[in-house]
């Protein structure tokens, strides 16, 4: 997609964590205790990875010390736990490129052209980046990033436009409610007149339809027309026949799938789409690049959240030797170390 808005100079920091799932989040904590500042990047628009995206309301029973916690509950608890370290989140961005600079630091580039320079990288990319499902419409690629978008990065891109939103879940409903006031016209299309989203959003959407501010169409898109990336119309199949809908912006929300994505292009050794690491430092084949959580592999690996937490603790010790080479690595308990407690803001 090319709705990219490159920012100015690179963000310079100690560490960039790729992926804000539970293991990326807990890495912030372990790095923070060792004075390593982190930025997190995730293609999702919220932290929590699989826990928040795939099973926010399901109970997890094997997090040490928490007899039961939901996916979202664990995410919220991790967010509270890492708060003292003030990590910066870059959500809704995918890390596309990762390479080493002549000065030994790493340069990362996201899909909107944002650049980062850092001393260590932690890949906590889980099963890969969540990627929007593409509707099966011939030639749709030609319109992606100019007329067809799978996320709203800038609401202004939709101001004064004839917008078609497709889908029946929360994203489709939320963007219908948010874009209706600024779009020239807004049509929400779903294949049946039942919505999976929050009942309150469904109610609000139906209110806008009743006021004539949103058109609700029950049907399916069958063809796109336009040229040079500019969408002009969508052919829609409805119960009463085919309709040609004049629109210039389309937002299909058909859910997400997990794909390894750009991680495969970074020159790291891979084993069946996983990154082999050692079990002392959880470092990859590239010194200074670590991998924790579901994305890594080693003998005996269990894809469990608690494994990723352990890995993050050891990774941080090794990262400290790179980020603060002159500092002595001290083993300390949070219970008794006043310096750790100061960092946590509890003393």
Ligand X SMILES: Cc1cc2nc3c(=O)[nH]c(=O)nc-3n(C[C@H](O)[C@H](O)[C@H](O)COP(=O)(O)OP(=O)(O)OC[C@H]3O[C@@H](n4cnc5c(N)ncnc54)[C@H](O)[C@@H]3O)c2cc1C
Cβ at position 25, least distance to ligand X in Å: 7
Task: Encode 121-152: b = buried (16+ Cβ within 10 Å), e = exposed.
Answer: bbbbbbbbbbebeebebeebebbbebbbbbeb
- Whether residue 130 contacts residue 152, with contact meaning beta carbons closer than 8 Å, is answered with no
Question: CB-wise, 10 or 229, nearer to ligand X?
Answer: 10
- Shorter beta-carbon distance to ligand X: residue 130 or 158: 130
Return the number of the residue (147 or 296) whose C-beta is nearest ligand X: 296
Q: Which of 67, 199 has the CB closer to ligand X?
A: 67
Tell me the closest approach of the beta carbon of residue 62 to ligand X, in angstroms.
5
Residue 41 or residue 165: which is nearer to ligand X going by CB?
41
C-alpha closest to that of 16 among 152, 170, 121, 113: 121
The angle formed by the CA atoms of residues 142, 144 and 145, to the nearest 5 degrees, is 125
- Both tokens of residue 327? 């500092």
Q: How far is the CB of 2 from ligand X (least distance, A)?
A: 17
For 1, the token pair is 């997609």
Enumerate binding residues for ligand X (CB under 6 A).
18-24, 41-44, 49-51, 54-55, 60, 62, 94-95, 124-130, 261-263, 293-294, 303-306, 308
Write down the least CB distance from residue 139 to ligand X, Å. Answer: 27
- Give the closest residue to 15 by CA, choosing from 33, 39, 34: 39
| Residue 255 falls in which region: left (phi positive, over 0), alpha (psi -120 to 50) or beta | left
* Least distance between ligand X and beta carbon 223 (Å): 31
């Amino acid at each position: 997609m090319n709705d990219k808005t490159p920012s100015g100079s690179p963000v310079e920091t100690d560490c960039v964590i790729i992926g804000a799932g539970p293991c990326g989040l807990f890495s912030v904590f372990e790095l923070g205790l060792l004075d390593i500042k982190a930025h997190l990047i995730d293609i999702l628009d919220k932290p929590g990875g699989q826990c928040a995206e795939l099973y926010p309301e399901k109970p997890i029973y094997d997090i040490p010390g928490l007899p039961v916690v939901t996916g979202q509950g664990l995410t919220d608890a991790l967010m509270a736990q890492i708060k003292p370290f003030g990590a910066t989140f870059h959500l809704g961005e995918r890390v596309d490129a990762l390479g080493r600079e002549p000065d030994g630091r790493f340069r990362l580039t996201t899909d909107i052209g944002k650049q980062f320079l850092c001393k260590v990288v932690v890949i906590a990319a889980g099963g890969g980046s969540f990627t929007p499902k593409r509707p099966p419409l011939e030639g749709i690629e030609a319109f992606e990033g100019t007329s067809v978008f799978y996320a709203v990065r800038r609401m202004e891109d939709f101001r004064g436009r004839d917008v078609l939103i497709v889908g029946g879940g929360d994203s489709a409903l939320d963007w219908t409610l948010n874009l209706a006031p600024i779009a020239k016209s807004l049509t929400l299309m779903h294949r049946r007149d039942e919505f999976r989203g929050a009942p309150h959003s469904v109610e609000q959407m139906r209110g806008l339809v009743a006021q004539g501010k949103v058109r609700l169409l029950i049907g399916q898109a069958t063809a796109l027309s336009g040229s040079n990336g500019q969408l002009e119309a969508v052919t829609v199949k409805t119960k009463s026949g085919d309709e040609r809908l004049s629109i210039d912006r389309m937002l299909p929300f058909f859910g997400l799938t997990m794909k390894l994505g750009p991680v495969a292009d970074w020159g790291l050794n891979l084993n069946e789409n996983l990154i082999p690491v050692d079990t002392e430092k959880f470092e990859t084949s590239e010194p200074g690049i670590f991998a924790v959580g579901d994305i890594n592999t080693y003998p005996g690996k269990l894809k469990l959240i608690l494994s990723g937490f352990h890995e993050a603790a050891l990774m941080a010790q090794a990262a400290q030797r790179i980020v603060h080479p002159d500092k002595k690595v001290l083993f300390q308990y949070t219970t008794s170390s006043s310096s750790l407690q100061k960092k946590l803001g509890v003393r």
